[in-house]
Structure 1
């Protein structure tokens, strides 16, 4: 079920984000849409409950593994494209 964004104190809908810190991996929250701006209101509200330590470790390990696979996939795609360019020249 999608959460309805609350209005932050900037009077704009808060933005749904996901934390990837070691303390709160994969934990979703609403935050001020202008959080990097000068006029940010610093609105913050967790959506998900805190995770148990063993679940945190699992989520962090899976997230790290996904990022490694994505990096390898991006590298392979780059090499494939460069090979096409190299072998199609002249």
Structure 2
């Protein structure tokens, strides 16, 4: 029989789960990657290492009297639920990663637009500098020709 299917004397008729102190357990929620969001019963003194009895049981994993077939089906269902929780956790993590990547892509695209605009401005400035350089060369050539004519005459 699977450990998850074993029954315990800590379950009372009213559904109250008692730990080894014979005190009602508290329901906690798992934050682990393997069991995100899964609820479990635990000793109410779990924060006090000297006082805790270490009692632990999944909330939906309790079965009082089961036969082997039911236990196997329950165990398989729990494994499927565990796998589903893990898959959901991974999917949620990937959604966050995708949102982060979309934000980064958006930022990069804005940067690219700014760089393209700067490149166009620089290309315009280069054309303007070439034009001014050409004008200076032509004016100097004209002045040189006029000076030569003046000296020759």
So what's the TM-score if we normalise by structure 1? Answer: 0.54
The yes-or-no answer on 1:65 pairing with 2:75 is: no
Q: In 1, are the aligned partners of 2:16 and 2:24 still within 8 Å (CA)?
A: no
Q: Which runs of 5+ in 2 are unaligned?
A: 1-12, 28-40, 55-61, 108-153
User: Structure 1 or 2: larger helix share?
Assistant: 2
Question: Do the aligned partners of 2:17 and 2:24 also contact (CA within 8 Å) in 1?
Answer: yes
Shift of 1:63: 0.2
Contact map agreement 2:26 2:42 (CA 8 A) in 1: yes
Which 4+ stretches in 1 moved above 6 angstroms? none
Query: Is residue 2:2 matched to residue 1:3?
Result: no
Q: How many residues align?
A: 73
Cα offsets for 1:23-48 (capped at 9, x unmatched)? xxxxxxx9864478444579xxxx85
1:57 is paired with a residue whose SS is helix
Question: Within 5 Å, which residues of 2 pair with 1:1-90?
Answer: 2-4=14-16, 13-15=23-25, 33-34=44-45, 37-39=49-51, 49-89=64-104, 90=107
2 CA distance for matches of 1:84 and 1:31?
Answer: 36
CA contact (8 A) 2:43 2:52 kept: yes
Q: Distance in 2 between matches of 1:86 and 1:31?
A: 39
Q: What TM-score, normalized to structure 2? A: 0.35
Q: Which runs of 5+ in 1 are unaligned?
A: 18-29
**By percentage of residues, which structure has more strand?**
1
